[in-house]
Every structure is written in structure tokens, then in C-alpha cells.
Amino acid sequence: MLFVGDLSDGDLRLTKSITQLKHPVAVILGNHDRGKDASGETFQRQLNLLGDLHCGWRMREWTNPAVGVVGCRPGSAGGGFHLSRAVQAVVGPITVEQSAARIVDACASVPPSWPLVLLAHAGPTGLGSEASDPCGRDWKQPPCDWGDRDLALALDQLAPRRRPSLVVFGHMHHRLKGRQGERSTYQRDRHGTVFLNAACVPRRGMDAEGRQLCHWSWVEFDQANLVHASHRWYLPDGQLAYAETLLDLASAGASH
């Protein structure tokens, strides 16, 4: 289970519940996870609670199934490169180049036979400048690319060595501001890397029949190959109610 941040506006209760899950978990904190506390104390408490589950600028691995998850810059608010006062109080001053280098260095720890997944709060620049693009600014005119420059730089530096199978992120809500429609949440580049925006907000809702639903972004790997990506909405008893398939290369033997 991957958590893309903005857990609860600084409320620690959800963070505590994540630490109690019985599944492999990786977390990257988002800009809202500092709450309204500019001192960084709330942000640091979140990090202390999560411990090794938080993977900012480092790899988190598990072997069943084998996958290497590398976290990107914690506390990002998108928009190029900016450190809030709270985040800077915790991580110190850091440049866009230093952040990119930390991501690249962490990726080197992932065995070549494993899937490499980058976990970010905001996606990279370069996915489009329209409001409806995966990281497009939709709340202010003119629309523009609101992705992270350090993540884009890291991807450029990784390209000659190893490209990630998946870059998963959130921050930019699927439903656009001002009734502009829905955001494009999926891209796959010519090298096969999938970019997936998981920020369906709110994650819980009701359908036209009054049934309660919970949203998940879902991927499947076959060995190191990403073969399936979808958005799914589940009923409280775990039954799948709806699915939006984004990629389907899955074979009968694909494993989750």
C-alpha cells in the first residue's frame, strides 16, 4: 500500500492508524501534513510516528512481492521547487539539484530485477501545461505545469541508467476547480514508464444508488513489468463496484 500524502491536515490519528496496518506500506508526506504549523513540529511528529514507513529521499523495500519504492521530496506543494518554512525547519535548506541527487542515489539501491517505483506527493514537470493535465494548475489562470522540477531532473538523470516502471503521486485532485471537468490521471511515455495521479478527493463517497464507495488506484506487476493500472471503487464489504482501466497488459500469471 502506497500513501501519496496529504493524510489529514496535520491530525495524527490517521497517521497512527497507518502504522498499525498489517500490510507492506510506504508513505510520502505532503504539504498539508504540516497542518497550520509553520514551525515544523507537527511535520516532525508525523515523521516520528511513521518511522521507516516514510521513504522521503530513500528506498523502502519489501520482498513479497519484491519491489523497491523510492520516495521523493517530502512536503512538496508542486509549482516547481519550493520548501515551506515547516519543511525547511525539518530537512534544512536544500537545492533542486541536491533533492534530485538524493532521489537518484536512493534508486541505485533497488536491485535491477525488481520493479522500481517512485513515490511522490506532487508529480514531475513535463506532463503537460493544460489545467486537465496530470499536474496542471486548475485554480488560477492561465493554467500551467505545476509539477516538481527536482523529480523531473531526477528522471532525466536516471534515464541513461534505469527508468522507473511507475511514478505515482497525488496533490492535484482529479476533479478540476470551477466545474472544468476531470483531470487526466494517467500517462505512459515512450519508454514504458507509467505516471499515475492517485488523488481522487474525497476518496470516499456514494454512487447514484446510494452505495458507499472507497477509491483505490491499483497496479499489477508481472515480475519487473508493470502490466495493469486502474482506478477502482470498492464497496464496504470489499466487493469491486466500478473500475476504470488505464493500462491492461496483464497475463494470466500476473501477480499483484
- pLDDT band for 144, please (50, 70, 90 cuts): very high
Nearest one of 121, 32, 38 to 78, comparing CA atoms = 121
CA distance 88 to 75: 9
Position 251 scores a pLDDT of 54
Which pLDDT value is given to residue 61?
Answer: 85
What pTM, to 2 d.p., does this model score? 0.95
Q: Give per-residue pLDDT as tens, 161-209.
A: 999 999 999 999 999 998 889 999 999 999 999 999 999 999 999 999 9
What confidence tens digit (pLDDT) does each residue in 146-163 have?
999 999 999 999 999 999
Q: Which residue(s) pair with 69 in the sheet?
A: 60, 117
pLDDT at 250: 67
Which helix (H) or strand (E) covers residue 100, if one does? Answer: helix 96-107
Instruction: Give the cell for residue 84.
Output: 515551506
User: How do beta strands 212-222 and 194-197 pair?
Assistant: unpaired
